[in-house]
Structure 1
Amino acid sequence: MDLKAAYNNATTTSSSLQTTPLHDAKNGKSWFVKPWTSFQAAASLPDKVPGYERVHVIKRTYFTISLFTQLRDLNSSQEIFVKSARHLISIILSEALNFVPFMPKIVNTPVDGATYTGLEMTDVENLCVVSILRAADSMADHISHHLPGLPVGKILIQRDEKTAKPNVFFKKFPKNIQAKRVILVDPMLATGGSAAEAIQILKDDGVPEHCILMVCIVAADEGLQLLTKRFPQVRIVCGEIDRGLNSQKYIVPGLGDFGDRFFGTN
């Protein structure tokens, strides 16, 4: 039974909440389903990118475009950059969390003994975040703020400025990561080399591809092509997709070095 059907059943009986297994961590397809709202309409998911089966971008609004404008502006102060980045991170992660398991839940409201049939995030204990140091710490910290106690892993990968290839210096993962769903965060997906290296490390540690959700703020087509070809079961959610890379392998139009601008370093 899919989540929509289970939700509809839950509006008439609460038994489905206890008896209907909607998600199986070993089955990639069952993780990625559309939630269903109490208004009998599909919840909003990030738009699927044409040509990419498992790549999504958030829905563009005047507000998100204004935030990207501030992020990309060369003249934005660190204060403005950080404020805009935090707003965007919140929006992108909120949309990305549509792809983790939810179950119907009936609750009593404080008014007239009424009930509300909504959704509850399930299997949170088997969810974790892995950030690619250091820029991604800004994203990992935001998830931890909204989901306190969520385990956070770290991978230190630095790109060789001459070869543009990634070098791995450090990794530290939560216990039993092979049994968890992993939200892998990195603000910028350029060549995709660092992200691919991180995903391969996770796979080597036993994490199935379909249990990895990559979340970024800006992505280049080159990076998306690399990841989707090497790891076709990994799902990717990003804020915007830029037109490509320059000769130095930086995203264009891009926003510069995210870590330096966010943390105020050179």
Structure 2
Amino acid sequence: MEVQEISETNSVANQFISQLRDTSIQSDRMRFRRNIERLGEIMAYELSKELEYEKKEITTPLGKSHVYLPKNELVICSILRAGLPLHQGILNYFDDAENSFISAYRHHPDNDENFEILVEYLASPSLEGKTLILADPMLATGRSFSNVLKALEPMGTPEKIHLVSVIGSDEGVEYLKTVFPKDSKLWISTIDHELDKNGYIVPGLGDAGDLCYGNKLQH
């Protein structure tokens, strides 16, 4: 699996990443959601360079123009709930894409640091022969992405898989390389080097879902 880390090249994306991390700014939920959305737009633009294109003729008021337009059938699949603003950012650039939504969350059966990833909801079109874009802002252990991939198997086999994330860990990235097809590609804003004993990215940014939409009750 190829990995494209956006922060390796200096750009305005670094400003949005820094605001997501900054405790003095991230409490503004609207800005937090918008910054994730903007990073989704940036990564969608970069991803668009690797799609297949075909020549189309366009009629203007004064004549004919020829332009190369994407021909891939895209399906954007986001992991609820933190994936919603990232999903919207990608959809802003791929407005003809089909959409898929899936739940994947950490379940702590013994109320300690040990957890399992549960998938309980899926709404998806067929993925057969299409280009699948999986979106989740946080790539910690990588188990959410891998469980979602398994849950999507009945929907068909995509021609190509792209993963989009905001912040990940080295461990999570290396794990994905073992479970996703070799020709898959990960687009990620930045990668941190540490996971704590609870499986959270350090320095990371905290719980993206709570920062987007408010604290939730644990169950």
Please indicate the TM-score interval, normalised by the length of the shorter structure. 0.7 to 0.9
The residue that corresponds to 1:142 in the other structure is: 89
Q: Does 1:263 align with 2:205?
A: no
Higher-strand-fraction structure: 2
State the number of aligned residues.
208
Q: Does 1:84 align with 2:35?
A: yes
Does the residue aligned with 2:205 lie in a helix, a strand or coil?
coil
The residue that corresponds to 1:196 in the other structure is: 146
What's the % identity of the aligned pairs? 29
Does the residue aligned with 1:179 lie in a helix, a strand or coil?
coil
Contact map agreement 1:128 1:183 (CA 8 A) in 2: yes
Q: Does 1:214 align with 2:167?
A: no
Which aligned runs of 4 or more in structure 1 are off by greater than 4 angstroms? 104-111
Q: 1:71 aligns with which of 7, 13, 20?
A: 20
> In structure 2, do the counterparts of structure 1 residues 101 and 119 end up closer, same or farther at CA, with 3 Å as the change threshold?
same
Between 1:181-190 and 1:225-234, the stretch displaced more is: 225-234
In 1, the alpha carbon distance for the partners of 2:142 and 2:43 equals 19
After TM superposition, the score normalised by the length of structure 2 is 0.83
In 2, the alpha carbon distance for the partners of 1:79 and 1:172 equals 26
Does the residue aligned with 2:120 lie in a helix, a strand or coil?
strand
In 1, the alpha carbon distance for the partners of 2:190 and 2:211 equals 18
Q: Shift in Å at residue 70 of structure 1?
A: 0.6
Q: Does 1:153 align with 2:103?
A: no
Q: Shift in Å at residue 89 of structure 1?
A: 1.9
Does the residue aligned with 2:49 lie in a helix, a strand or coil?
helix
Give the letter aligned to residue 178 of structure 1: E
Structure 1, unaligned runs of 5 or more: 1-52
Matched ranges for 1:1-266 at <5 A: 53-58=1-6, 60-76=9-25, 77-105=28-56, 118-123=67-72, 126-161=73-108, 162-174=113-125, 176-208=126-158, 211-233=160-182, 234-266=184-216
In 2, the alpha carbon distance for the partners of 1:222 and 1:243 equals 8
Q: Shift in Å at residue 198 of structure 1?
A: 0.7
Between 1:191-200 and 1:232-241, the stretch displaced more is: 232-241
Structure 2, unaligned runs of 5 or more: none
Q: Shift in Å at residue 149 of structure 1?
A: 4.5
Contact map agreement 2:40 2:88 (CA 8 A) in 1: no
After TM superposition, the score normalised by the length of structure 1 is 0.70
Give the letter aligned to residue 201 of structure 1: A
Between 1:219-228 and 1:148-157, the stretch displaced more is: 148-157
> In structure 2, do the counterparts of structure 1 residues 160 and 101 end up closer, same or farther at CA, with 3 Å as the change threshold?
same
C-alpha RMSD of the superposition: 2.4
In 2, the alpha carbon distance for the partners of 1:183 and 1:149 equals 13
Contact map agreement 1:57 1:240 (CA 8 A) in 2: yes
Higher-helix-fraction structure: 1
Tell which structure's C-alpha radius of gyration is larger: 1
